[in-house]
Amino acid sequence: MMTIIFFVLFFMIFGGLLKFAFKATWGVMKFMFYIVFLPFILVGMVAYGFAFIALPILLIVGAIGLLRTA
């Protein structure tokens, strides 16, 4: 009986920590995508002749960025 209670409490505590770890990782990945990967992807698209796709993406992301900060 004590073992069952121990495991229930164990998973309650470490389940909360696991949830926090996933939320933190998701936040870091969003930051890395917007700050690091997106500019490299857009520059690469322009360098390889895909400016007709990169420009609308840049405009959409820029407009969303301006609206979210305002």
Burial of 49 (0-12, 13-18, 19+ CB in 10 A): exposed
- State residue 25's pLDDT score: 92
| 22-58 pLDDT, tens digit each | 999 998 998 888 788 888 888 888 888 888 888 888 8
- State residue 70's pLDDT score: 61
| 9-23 pLDDT, tens digit each | 888 888 888 888 999
pTM recorded for the entire structure: 0.50
Domains: count for the chain: 1
Containing structural domain, residue 61: 25-70
Query: Which of 39, 43, 45 minimizes the C-alpha distance to 65?
Result: 39
- Domain assignment present for residue 60? The answer is yes
- Domain assignment present for residue 34? The answer is yes
- Domain assignment present for residue 4? The answer is no
